[in-house]
Structure 1
Amino acid sequence: METSLLIVGQTYYRLTFADVDMTIPAIEPLVYAGVHPSSQGKLLPTFQDTVSYTWVGAYPGPYRGDQSIDVTLHPMTDAEAAEMLALSEVVLKVNELFVRAERQGFPMLKPPRIPPHNAAPPAAPPK
């Protein structure tokens, strides 16, 4: 979504994938917190996690509620912020992903090849 169209306080969604074929999505809701300076002083579109927003309020601002809740901010480049989706876009995108996954037989993630916990350690290379 174009950064000029983002609305402070509105929830947007970041879509990431667990697989290379982009058939296993993860959807992360984030609240747009406005434009804030980075550690280098550059103004960046910034998003806040939904848990802290719900419990302590918008960043920056007078916190309410539980002070022990950590606020997680996600400063993004304009290109990264442009990839954030409105809920209606998420629904359409997930439907597309379902069709892609269905065509591929609903791929499953493959666990890494880790030897059993009681396996002997690999032999040291010859010297």
Structure 2
Amino acid sequence: MVLVAEESVTALTKAHALVRQYATGGAGTHARLLGVATVARVPGRRPQQVRQRRDVLAGLLDQIDGGASQMWSVPFIPGLTTVALDELPVWSLGEPPTTKKRPSPREAVPAAVAELGTELIDAARTQVAAWGRR
């Protein structure tokens, strides 16, 4: 599983609680945490409180499952929050990223989102292979 949280103190605190729950077996014996993806709420540099919460969460991820869980970040994408889920374009592994500098979220999957998709699939493949060796 991958937890997704916006980069706010409230959301990162909730994500931290969920990761702690996972670490103590509260997610069930068959659940596996690939990591946490955070999504920037605003453009620019993260506020200090958000950076600190994110760093604490990353530290917790390093301590569980032998450090196998990862942390990803999606930058702020203008217009993304104004598009309904069923209006977003679909991404597929191996699909070339858009060449447009700033495509509309309705036109093309943003490069940062496509990159995250590739990294998530790679992480899943790595963890599945590791679990098979146990």
TM-score by length of 1: 0.25
Q: Which structure shows the higher helix fraction?
A: 2
Structure showing greater Rg: 1
